[in-house]
A and B are shown apart, each in its own frame.
Chain A
Amino acid sequence: MSRSTPLWRTTTVRLTAFFILLFVVASIVLLALTAYQSSIVIQRQQARDIDREVEQLVRTEDTRGVRALAVAVNALARRPGAGLYYLGDDTGQLLVGNIADLPARVLSNEGFFTFNYSVDQTAPSDEQFPPHATGFAAARSVKLDSGLRLVVGRDIVERRGFAAIIFQSFGFGVVGIVILSIGAGVLTAQRVLKRIGTINATSAKIMQGNLSERVPITRRDDEFDHLATSLNEMLDRIEQLMQGLKDVTDNVAHDLKTPLTRLRNKAESALRDSATPDDMRAALETTIGESDQLIRTFNALLMIARAEAGAPSGDFTTVDISAVAADVAELYVPVAEDAGLELTTAIEPGIELRANRELVGQALVNLVENAIKYGKAPAGGGKVEVAVLRSDGNVRISVSDNGPGIPEKDRENVVKRFVRLEKSRTEAGSGLGLSLVSAVAGLHRGRLVLEDNAPGLRAGLELPL
């Protein structure tokens, strides 16, 4: 199961680990490069310093003689924090300076050397800045014109110490970076996992049957909130469909069982009581009538279900809504007249729409039949008007009457399946008429509008053009 995934297997943790590694490697490379570069720069600087001093000392001997050189070397050697100096012969006999025990290769050759040295203990030195007793030196050795050997050097350990400081801080840096990035990674991973965890928890609750559960949305408006919002919208739709299904099943159970029971009772009593073939015949005819009504209810339910589930689809064609309305009105003019009503039309011609012609026709038929059935003025008579008009991007197909209308509080209710207001219970009908109209409106991305016609009801389909 996905909910028990070990932490290290989650995408977030893996990605975080990968980026930490990448970051650390990049930092190490960058820092190592910096440290190497700076140690080279220091080394060059030191070599240049030595060369410059050697040059100055050689010039001193050339211009002012050996004595002046000895004085200069002595002065240099006794400075605080001084470098390393040797002025003597090639056998290691020190004349002036501060180092002894020079290796033979330094004394017999000219050039740049590195070697171990020890400080000449006999040489006077500054109490405050005693030179290192022993050490590792980098030095230049020169044979002077006077036959003396001059060696000028620097303690390398000092230089190495500097490099060590760089490398040390570099080490601290890497450790810091690793700790920081692991910390940041863990925080990020935890946050992401927590958000995903809430989504998982919600879906688990929903799977257990609590369909009204929703993924919580924070105020950050980030990608998780977008995901949660669309998940919630999907859940709303599913819940709505489930509720619809439940309503239908409940209503089917009630409204199909009732007439089925009636049907069965009729057949039973016909079997029991019919004395003559005529009685039998009459009973059978009522049974057929009842079953036709049942079939009609069933068909209406199916049509509503299809319209509600359907997306605007393949059976949509360009329909002349004006012509459909005119046809339906014409079909019902005589029916209205027989009912003592006057059916008139106010149809703007030539309004076309992508629609399902049969369903729009059926919806309009339902509205007109309702108007004829329930739209009589209390004093008798009245007018039924079928109107089609365009209004800002919509087409409004409406049927208005002068009947008692529908009280404001009941308007939302009458659209529901099988709902019939008390006053209409005595009339024949399935209670599905307006539900179908509403479903057809929904299929065409429109809506059913019920308004006061003062007096009477104006029921209309408002469909986007």
Chain B
Amino acid sequence: MKILLIEDDREAASYLMQALDEAGHVTHHAPDGETGYAMASGMDYDVLIVDRMLPRRDGLSVLEALRAEGNATPVLILSALGEVDDRVTGLRAGGDDYLPKPYAFTELLARIEVLARRSSPAEAQTTLQVGGLSLDRLSRKVERDGETIILQPREFRLLEYLMKHAGQVVTRTMLLENVWDYHFDPQTNVIDVHMSRLRAKIDKGHAAPLLHTVRGAGYMIRE
């Protein structure tokens, strides 16, 4: 994946570039808003990571200018302002996702991978398939190896989200945001409890589990 990182903190930038490199991505770095804007409009990237507060040109203004030109590259906004209203302004300016600082690298990686593959065909498919597990988004039926699995509405949405991003890591906050539509911060392991219930329904009695816990990051559904 080709990534452009627009971030003025050199230390944070070099750490991120190294980590993204280890994860197998090519990353370019722009230290300020103007350079970032020039690079983003001159080259094709899979994902842009934009810090909100930048020298020479503010992150949101770069984003608005790119969107005005018809540039639809997915954008992850990074910000030290974590408040709900800041998130809303960020997303309204054309951002696709918003990550408050400080963040865990695994969280950032999971989010940009999901962003980059957002335009994949899974988005439009009516039936999602992972191994022997199938989910029909219209009839809301879930089967594993021909056996019907009864899910609660929320469990269905949870599984749907995981299967849409099959093979990708999804973090707990991503699940909370996308399945429950909340950005709050639970102290308890509330997502884990839901995941273990879902796991009991789809993996119990099967030799090969489909739902995997990715240590230190989140969950992944794969064959």
Contacts and interface: CB of A to CB of B under 8 A. Distances in A.
A295 B216 CA distance: 17
Contacts of B185: 296, 299-300, 362
Given A299-B185, A362-B185, A332 B82 contact: no
Nearest to B176: A331
Contacts of B194: 331, 334
Given A302-B82, A338-B193, A369 B188 contact: yes
A365 interface: yes
Interface stretch (B83-91, B143-151, B203-211): B83-91
B134 to A, nearest CB: 25
Contacts of B12: none
Contacts of A429: 187
Contacts of B104: 288, 292
Contact of A358 (B102, B183, B188, B216): B183
A327 B187 contact: no
Contact of A327 (B180, B183, B193): B180
A314 interface: yes
Interface in B85-129: 85, 88, 102, 104
A331 B187 contact: no
B197 interface: yes
A356 B82 contact: no
Nearest to A358: B84
Contacts of B193: 334-335, 338
B190 A332 contact: yes
Contact of A315 (B85, B180, B190, B197): B85
Q: How many A residues are at the interface, by size bracket? A: 20 to 34
B89 to A, nearest CB: 10
Contacts of B88: 315
A59 interface: no
A26 B83 CA distance: 68
Contacts of A285: 216
Nearest to A372: B188
Contacts of A365: 184, 186
B190 A428 contact: no
B15 interface: no
A314 B85 contact: yes
B182 A361 contact: yes
A302 B83 CA distance: 9
Q: Choose among B83, B85, B184, B197 the residue with the greatest number of A CB atoms under 10 Å from its CB.
A: B184
Contacts of A433: 187
Contacts of B197: 334
A358 B100 CA distance: 15
Main secondary structure of the interface of A (DSSP, over half): helix
B141 interface: no
Contacts of A315: 84-85, 88
Contacts of B25: none
A369 B187 contact: yes
B18 to A, nearest CB: 17
Nearest to A316: B85
Contacts of A306: 83
B182 A327 contact: yes
Nearest to A296: B185
A359 interface: yes
Nearest to A339: B188
A25 B102 CA distance: 77
B140 interface: no
Given A331-B194, A332-B190, A358-B184, 20 more contacts: A292-B104, A296-B185, A296-B187, A299-B185, A303-B83, A315-B84, A331-B190, A335-B189, A338-B193, A358-B84, A358-B182, A359-B84, A361-B182, A362-B185, A365-B184, A365-B186, A369-B186, A369-B188, A372-B188, A428-B187
Interface of A: 285, 288, 292, 295-296, 299-300, 302-303, 306, 314-315, 327, 330-332, 334-335, 338, 356, 358-359, 361-362, 365, 369, 372-373, 428-430, 433
29 contacts: A288-B104, A292-B104, A295-B102, A296-B185, A296-B187, A299-B185, A300-B185, A302-B82, A302-B83, A306-B83, A314-B85, A315-B84, A315-B88, A330-B154, A331-B180, A334-B194, A335-B189, A335-B190, A338-B193, A358-B84, A358-B184, A361-B184, A362-B185, A369-B186, A369-B188, A372-B188, A428-B187, A429-B187, A433-B187
Interface of B: 82-85, 88, 102, 104, 154, 180, 182-190, 193-194, 197, 216
Q: Which 10 A-B pairs have the closest CB atoms?
A: A362-B184, A315-B85, A358-B84, A334-B193, A335-B193, A335-B190, A361-B184, A361-B182, A365-B184, A369-B187
